[in-house]
Chain A
Amino acid sequence: MQLPVLHSRFRDQIEFDGGADRKYQPLPAWFRRLPSERVAVFNMVGEHVVIPFSDFEEFIRGRLPKGNTAYQELKSHHLLLDSTGESAIDLLALKYREKHASISRFTGLHIFVVTLRCDHSCPYCQVSRVSSDRGAFDMSAETADRALDLALKSPNPNIKIEFQGGESLLNFEIIQRVVLKATAAAPALGKTIDFVIATNLSPLTDPILEFCAEHRIALSTSLDGPQDLHNSNRPRPGGDSWERAVEGIRRARERLGFDQVSALMTTTRASLSSGRDIIDAYVGFGFPSISLRWLSPFGFANRSSKKIGYPLQEFFEFYEQGLRYIFELNRNGIPFREDMAALIARRMLTPFDTGYVDLMSPAGIGTAAIAYNYDGKIYASDESRMLAENNDFTFQLGDVHTSTYREVFNSDHLRSIINKTMVEGTPMCHECAYHRVCGTDPVVHHATQGDMIGTRPTSVFCLRQLFLNDLIVRILADEPSNAKLLEDWANQ
């Protein structure tokens, strides 16, 4: 007896070769040319194939023979429908829905800016104030309570509360208050709540660590690389930012667990020549990955750009050299990951919704993340409140003291912003091969181009994303061993 499944796989050659009379229907596709007369063709859910441009042209014009290798490649990636591939539409719909799953869950990340005070004076920081005036820059108990009320009204069953600053530990009393109240309220609301504190670790004490351990609070810190670079990027009295961060990481890992401490770096001009040293520092401290992040084009960072900024092309070189060094480390038996490359690979190679709030369509502002500022003002994202510190209140959605949940999250203002962030309706994005694995950022475009939609040919955001996507596609197509690493990262 022949099993039906096997039977369907082992068919006569003629089934694959077909004949000239066999017709096919192209399915939604977007393309981008690659070197060597090839083209990357993406389907509706971000999967892609790389085929010769001449085959692609024949495909579009309805003349691609069934025996052609590209035909089978296109068919297997739901880019072509013929009489033997009836499930493609169902599968595309299913994957499309899964890729957008986070939209229906609504706002999951709630950022509490508990203080603007900080002991550091980093030139790239958008918001911090070196001040001892607690009243002027700290979140009050009343403001925190009202912000928490709004956060807990989110329909999302899985809430993450992230405490930001300034240096958030300088207002640890408010962090404790929010954690205790949220933890007490969560069971009755059927929610799970995760907490993370963004901190430079400088004010870390044993009682703080005890509280974090008791409530499973994760710590996210800044580590710009080796000692000299870090201390130069992140000045503080005593010039010992790196020493304090490193000691804090050690103590926090010891008390909270190794995986409860993560780190982020920011690339300044001084970082550009130290890519390997930065990565080595992360490897040396046992971090599993690094995100080679560009300099945010906001606020203080923007004003300091003459000192710490750089042309985009120099960042591209820094990034690619760093990524290739990480590949080399992996080949030498050191497992390590670059997070942006992993994110893009995950979007291109898996059917899952990655939910990265800075790169979504529609943008994650308000619907995936929201920021409650120290003074009670509510902003559509962390970057929005950074703009507000420079007197641009475009993305202010309300005030915790006066606004209801509905007034904030169902406001015409938020909906009008979100309407401008769909890649399907954004000039050039709508026809871009990468639009299913990319997103929009109305705050960056507003800040850099004076328009939330923005103009793609001169958009630094778009140029950066094109570079990153081009690089990942090229590696996947032409570098088998590095492609294997990207596949591994995508599935981690």
Chain B
Amino acid sequence: MVVLELSKSVYSLLSVKSVAHRLSAEATCIIDDSDKFWILGLRPNLGLTNLDDLACRATRELLDQELRQILDEKTQAFRSVIIAQAFSGVNLLHPELDNAPAGTDPLGLSKPDSETGRIH
């Protein structure tokens, strides 16, 4: 049995649960709560005896889960905008383009960058 004490100030409960789920094919996982720590207990399933390897995988997965959460928080709004734009019948990002009269060039695509100040 591997028991990891994980500081609550570093790891979220969501990360600990996600790691337990990911490792569920290899180990029976128990999560408990003490004052300042999440306790993650991992009992290897039959045939798996390398506890060091299991502990190593669990801690690496914890770091990955934390990174995933940071990414998720930083990009969630963008994900929603991209999906909305992808399936919208109108241009959500540049509504002025839908309303511009035919033959006009509201983005100044025909003008050189030196005139528009555009940087690619």
Contacts from A to B (Cβ < 8 Å):
2, 4, 7-9, 11, 15, 25-31, 33, 44, 56-57, 60-61, 81, 83-84, 89-90, 92-94, 96-97, 100, 427-428, 431, 455, 457-458
Among B18, B22, B75, B114, residue most surrounded by chain A Cβ atoms (within 10 Å): B75
| In contact, B24 and A457 (Cβ under 8 angstroms) | yes
Chain B residues with Cβ below 8 Å from A455 are: 24
Instruction: Type the 1/0 row for B107-120, where 1 means its CB is closer than 8 Å to any CB of A.
Output: 00001111000111
How near does chain A come to B36, taking the closest CB pair, in angstroms? 24
| In contact, B78 and A457 (Cβ under 8 angstroms) | no
**Known contacts A7-B114, A57-B67: does B85 contact A90 (CB below 8 Å)?**
yes
**Known contacts A28-B78, A61-B70, A90-B85: does B113 contact A7 (CB below 8 Å)?**
yes
Q: List 29 A-B contacts (CB under 8 A).
A: A4-B111, A7-B114, A9-B120, A11-B119, A26-B71, A27-B75, A28-B75, A28-B79, A28-B82, A31-B67, A44-B82, A57-B67, A60-B67, A60-B71, A61-B70, A83-B119, A84-B120, A89-B78, A89-B81, A90-B93, A90-B94, A93-B83, A93-B86, A93-B93, A96-B82, A97-B87, A427-B21, A428-B22, A431-B18
Beyond known contacts A4-B112, A60-B71, A89-B78: 7 more, CB 8 A cutoff: A4-B111, A44-B79, A83-B119, A92-B86, A93-B86, A427-B21, A428-B22
**In the assembly, what is the distance between CA of A96 and CA of B84, in Å?**
10
Q: Any chain A CB within 8 A of the CB of B68?
A: yes
Chain A residues with Cβ below 8 Å from B118 are: 8
| In contact, B64 and A8 (Cβ under 8 angstroms) | no
Among A4, A83, A92, A428, residue most surrounded by chain B Cβ atoms (within 10 Å): A4
Q: Any chain A CB within 8 A of the CB of B25?
A: yes
| In contact, A94 and B18 (Cβ under 8 angstroms) | no
B interface secondary structure, majority: helix
| In contact, B71 and A457 (Cβ under 8 angstroms) | no
Instruction: Type the 1/0 row for B54-83, where 1 means its CB is closer than 8 Å to any CB of A.
Output: 000000100010011011001100110111
**Known contacts A15-B119, A93-B86: does B24 contact A29 (CB below 8 Å)?**
no
Q: Please list the 8 inter-chain residue pairs (A to B) with the smallest Cβ-Cβ separation, ordered nearest first.
A: A93-B85, A457-B25, A4-B112, A97-B86, A96-B86, A8-B120, A93-B86, A28-B75
Chain B residues with Cβ below 8 Å from A4 are: 111-114
Q: Any chain A CB within 8 A of the CB of B4?
A: no
Interface size on B, residues (CB 8 A): 32
Contacts from B to A (Cβ < 8 Å):
18, 21-26, 60, 64, 67-68, 70-71, 74-75, 78-79, 81-83, 85-87, 93-94, 111-114, 118-120
Chain B residues with Cβ below 8 Å from A61 are: 70
| In contact, A26 and B74 (Cβ under 8 angstroms) | yes
How near does chain B come to A343, taking the closest CB pair, in angstroms? 22
**In the assembly, what is the distance between CA of A90 and CA of B97, in Å?**
13
| In contact, B86 and A94 (Cβ under 8 angstroms) | yes
| In contact, A27 and B78 (Cβ under 8 angstroms) | yes
**In the assembly, what is the distance between CA of A90 and CA of B83, in Å?**
10
**Known contacts A4-B113, A15-B119, A44-B79: does B21 contact A89 (CB below 8 Å)?**
no
| In contact, B21 and A457 (Cβ under 8 angstroms) | yes
**Known contacts A89-B85, A96-B83: does B22 contact A457 (CB below 8 Å)?**
yes
Chain B residues with Cβ below 8 Å from A29 are: 71, 75
Chain B residues with Cβ below 8 Å from A83 are: 119
**Closest A residue to B94 using CB positions:** A90
Chain B residues with Cβ below 8 Å from A11 are: 119
